[in-house]
Chain A
Amino acid sequence: MSAGQSPIDTFLSEAAEILESLEGHLLELEAAPDDSERIGAVFRNLRTLKGSGEMFGFSALAHFVHRFENAYDAVRAGRARVTPGLIDVSLRARDHIARLIEIGTDPVENARIERAPEARTLVEAIDACLGAPGGAGDSSSPAGRATPGQPAGAGPRRYELTFAPGLDALRNGMRPAMLFDELAMLGQTEIACFTDEVPCLDELDPTACHLAWKIRLTTDRGRAAIEDVFIFADDGAVTIGDAGPAEGTDGGAGAAGVPAATTQMRTIPSASAAPDPDGRGAGAGAARTESVRVQSFRLDQLMDQLGELVIAQARLNRIADQMREPGLTGVAEEIERLVTGLRDATLSIRMLPIGMVFARFRRLVRDLSGELGKDVQLVTEGGQTELDKNVIDSLGEPLVHLIRNSVDHGIETVERRRAAGKPEQATVRIVAEQLGGEVLVRITDDGAGLDAAAIRARAIERGLIAPDADIAPEALYQLIFEPGFSTARTVSNLSGRGVGMDAVRAVIGELRGTVEVHSVPGRGTTVTLRLPLTLAIIDSLLVRVGKGVFVLPLPSVMECVELPAAEAGRESGRSILKIRDQLVPFVEVGHLFGFETDPAREARIVIIAAEGKRVGLVVDDIIGQHQTVIKSLSAYHRDIAGLAGATILGDGSVALILDPPALVKSNPPISLEAAW
């Protein structure tokens, strides 16, 4: 795909987002049934879906959503309440909508699905929840038009509206008369039509809209309700000006001239509905136009260009250093500062809260526990932790897998939990937190834990370990990530997990992350994912080892110290340094890589954090800080332990990016335990 998206694609991607948001709101409502803001949000989701569905020819969708919408309209108006039953039906209805979207616009299919029993059942179920027959086909009975309004007691206000739809508006399905009817339901309206723009008959295109309107509206329902009416009007077509409280009222209800219908409305306080006194409102989407929808490949392009820019800038710096021309140095520094700012801004655009992925797990856990007859609650923490968009995109599948495994295999049945003296309600916890340059995501359950004996038997069967191998349980648990474990058969006979865990590891590995599992028999299992914050550009420290220059990601660097000559000369094999009363093990990077170390070096130790512990890496010199554009390694080098990627330095040479935790863990391993 190059430049544009077809409108239908835009609709589809928008619909997918709306459905996701709808699901989130419904699940929130289940917990807090009286949350009027949520109810309003559900209603708006449905209304948007209906409107744009209709516009793009998804007629079955529009009809179905219409019924669904009516139900929430009634809830909004206080004529019905949110019950667990309604949420249940709503969630099923949401899934039905997803299917309707899949079907597309084919009229035959649409008609067929509309007559299908499941659609009818759902509609009936929705109506049943309301305890009243839904107004068939009638979009809104007058009493049903309540909207989250101003805080109670604010009283009716006068609004001056102008509505000047574009020439294409009628062709796009806009029907002004219907909008005015809806406005009339909000309160008293005075409508004036401007015909100045209507051309003479010869030039008149009857399908074009040449009219504009000025509307004076007195309502106590607030600005948001008016915006709701114009939700499908083009941005800029509508202006809403607040002309202050209605005359002759002092904030009280029942002002003269306000139709009786409005006085019986329940006003639901809503923070977002505060009147906009400066009349800046650009119409329906005012609150929503603050964010811009951008296709992700454009972000990727931007990122690529930025990568080139960072490399070019490093070259410029180098030339400036060599020439020692004050003017040039000044410009180079200025450009460096700007590039850094641009980089941070670009990266922040790409950062999304991980909570976006969490949202869909609530549904997953809810449905799974229902299916399996288990009582499982999902607790999420750290949803605001941000990760690169590409990481977020790839993270959904593995997490679904892990959660499914937890609920399906990890958590025991209610009977067994009771017998074990555990609370009947099990808990699956997803916790995300940022730690230096990494984001940790932990999926913890309080289930039965992994069955070490079963894993061992399976590993021996698959030839992964020798039958007499002496392996600690923790090491044994990691075997579930081996491809040998991912057969369907293991589902039933391993009381742990192991379905597709190798796939989980593969995806996380592609993101340059790692995955580990910890388990306590009878107490539960924790899977920990470690993910890099970003995939693109990092701040780093350049170090020299032998003749080579290496890159250390700055977030993992804690401090740099000199290696005392006495320590360096020691041949006792002891490599522990005392730093401020703390013993820190250290390792020569040169030795790990089999490089000759420079005899004339000024050995320095870079203290890094590896799995929460401090470890020193001895290098021959520290060159300085550097912005590093990460390029991934080819298939030839991807698997080398301790290397995270490569980059191009200012002088055009290639430098390797180290992965300190993996480097420290790699062979020959240095004992982290030695110092503790």
Chain B
Amino acid sequence: MVTHAPQASASSREGSSLVLTFSLQGETFAHDVARVHEIIDPLPMTRVPRADPFVPCLINVRGAIVPVVDVQTRLGMRRAADEKAMRLVVIEVPIDDEATKVAMIVDGVNEVIEIDGSAIAEIPELGSRWPADFIRGIALRGDELVVLLNTETLFRPRRSPARTLN
């Protein structure tokens, strides 16, 4: 799977970053590889009632209870009916200053690539399908468009209004 990774710490090298690319409904997305813990096959999921559709389920990853994140709902995409090819990318994200493991549902995992900082363009406001808040930028690789996700914003929990008065 790792094709272009010269060394693991290359993400810190100036100007370029190592990202893991994966597909969601035929589009290619990328996430900073440094935060990726592991990639696992689908596990039995436990639905959480009343949960934000963004985080609908929990799974057991070797003894740790990990929330499953459906980024498609946040990116405004419909879930594909065919879930067979699904994989889970377990990443660690800071939530309220607390390192939290989440499992991101993806259709398939592609590869780890190095993206040069200068190759990252801001996403054009017009013609974008995705909320700009959650996108760090886009990069072209050959003919392929890679959408870089913004970890900081994408995984931020929505504050439930239930906390205030009922």
Binary contact readout B132-166 vs A (1 if CB under 8 angstroms, 0 otherwise): 00000000000000000000000001011011111
Q: Is the interface of B mostly helix, strand, loop or mixed?
A: loop
Answer yes or no: B96 CB below 8 A from chain A CBs: yes
Binary contact readout B32-44 vs A (1 if CB under 8 angstroms, 0 otherwise): 0000000000001
Q: Which of B49, B65, B165, B166 contacts A646 (CB 8 A)?
A: B65
Q: Which of A308, A592, A636 contacts B52 (CB 8 A)?
A: A636
User: In the docked arrangement, what's the CA distance between A464 and B163, Å?
Assistant: 13
Binary contact readout B53-92 vs A (1 if CB under 8 angstroms, 0 otherwise): 0110011100101010000000000000000000000000
A636 touching B157 in the complex, CB below 8 Å, given contacts A464-B165, A548-B47, A656-B46: yes
Q: Are B100 and A634 in contact (CB under 8 A)?
A: yes
Measured between beta carbons, the chain A residues less than 8 angstroms from B164 are: 482
User: In the docked arrangement, what's the CA distance between A652 and B58, Å?
Assistant: 12
Q: Are A636 and B67 in contact (CB under 8 A)?
A: yes
Q: Which of A637, A639, A642, A648 contacts B163 (CB 8 A)?
A: A639
Measured between beta carbons, the chain B residues less than 8 angstroms from A479 are: 165
Closest A residue by C-beta to B69: A636
Q: Are B50 and A593 in contact (CB under 8 A)?
A: yes
User: In the docked arrangement, what's the CA distance between A178 and B96, Å?
Assistant: 59
| Range for the number of chain B residues in contact with chain A | 20 to 34
Answer yes or no: A63 CB below 8 A from chain B CBs: no
Q: Are A653 and B160 in contact (CB under 8 A)?
A: no
A646 touching B162 in the complex, CB below 8 Å, given contacts A640-B51, A641-B50, A653-B46: no
User: In the docked arrangement, what's the CA distance between A547 and B45, Å?
Assistant: 11
Q: Which of A308, A464, A652, A656 contacts B48 (CB 8 A)?
A: A656
Binary contact readout A343-360 vs B (1 if CB under 8 angstroms, 0 otherwise): 000000000000000000
User: In the docked arrangement, what's the CA distance between A478 and B164, Å?
Assistant: 11
Most chain A CB neighbours (cut-off 10 Å) among B44, B50, B102, B160: B50
Q: Which of B54, B63, B96 contacts A635 (CB 8 A)?
A: B96
Q: Are B95 and A637 in contact (CB under 8 A)?
A: no
User: In the docked arrangement, what's the CA distance between A593 and B50, Å?
Assistant: 6
Measured between beta carbons, the chain B residues less than 8 angstroms from A655 are: 46
Closest B residue by C-beta to A308: B63
User: In the docked arrangement, what's the CA distance between A631 and B59, Å?
Assistant: 13
Q: Are B67 and A594 in contact (CB under 8 A)?
A: no
User: In the docked arrangement, what's the CA distance between A631 and B64, Å?
Assistant: 9
A640 touching B55 in the complex, CB below 8 Å, given contacts A595-B49, A655-B46: no
User: In the docked arrangement, what's the CA distance between A264 and B109, Å?
Assistant: 91
Q: Are B166 and A593 in contact (CB under 8 A)?
A: no
Answer yes or no: B125 CB below 8 A from chain A CBs: no
Measured between beta carbons, the chain A residues less than 8 angstroms from B54 are: 636
A640 touching B98 in the complex, CB below 8 Å, given contacts A652-B60, A654-B60: no
Answer yes or no: A42 CB below 8 A from chain B CBs: no
User: In the docked arrangement, what's the CA distance between A292 and B162, Å?
Assistant: 45
User: In the docked arrangement, what's the CA distance between A643 and B54, Å?
Assistant: 18
Q: Are A635 and B48 in contact (CB under 8 A)?
A: no
Q: Are A667 and B166 in contact (CB under 8 A)?
A: yes
Binary contact readout A573-612 vs B (1 if CB under 8 angstroms, 0 otherwise): 0000000000000000000111100000000000000000
Binary contact readout A461-499 vs B (1 if CB under 8 angstroms, 0 otherwise): 000110000000000001100100000000000000000
Binary contact readout A338-375 vs B (1 if CB under 8 angstroms, 0 otherwise): 00000000000000000000000000000000000000
User: In the docked arrangement, what's the CA distance between A89 and B114, Å?
Assistant: 72
User: In the docked arrangement, what's the CA distance between A635 and B94, Å?
Assistant: 11
Closest CB of chain A to B90's CB: distance in Å? Answer: 13
Q: Are A648 and B95 in contact (CB under 8 A)?
A: no
User: In the docked arrangement, what's the CA distance between A646 and B96, Å?
Assistant: 20
Q: Which of A311, A464, A640, A642 contacts B63 (CB 8 A)?
A: A311
Closest A residue by C-beta to B66: A634
Closest CB of chain A to B67's CB: distance in Å? Answer: 5
Closest A residue by C-beta to B166: A667
Q: Are A635 and B100 in contact (CB under 8 A)?
A: yes
User: In the docked arrangement, what's the CA distance between A637 and B60, Å?
Assistant: 16
User: In the docked arrangement, what's the CA distance between A574 and B49, Å?
Assistant: 24
Measured between beta carbons, the chain A residues less than 8 angstroms from B47 are: 547-548
Q: What are 30 sample pairs from A and B whose C-beta atoms fall under 8 A apart?
A: A308-B63, A311-B63, A548-B47, A594-B49, A594-B50, A595-B49, A631-B65, A634-B95, A634-B157, A635-B96, A635-B98, A635-B100, A636-B54, A639-B160, A639-B163, A640-B48, A640-B51, A640-B160, A641-B50, A643-B50, A646-B46, A648-B60, A652-B60, A653-B60, A654-B46, A654-B58, A654-B59, A654-B60, A655-B46, A656-B48
Apart from A634-B55, A640-B50: 18 A-B pairs, beta carbons within 8 A: A311-B63, A478-B165, A482-B165, A548-B46, A593-B49, A634-B102, A635-B96, A635-B98, A635-B157, A636-B51, A636-B52, A636-B157, A637-B58, A640-B48, A642-B50, A643-B48, A646-B65, A652-B60
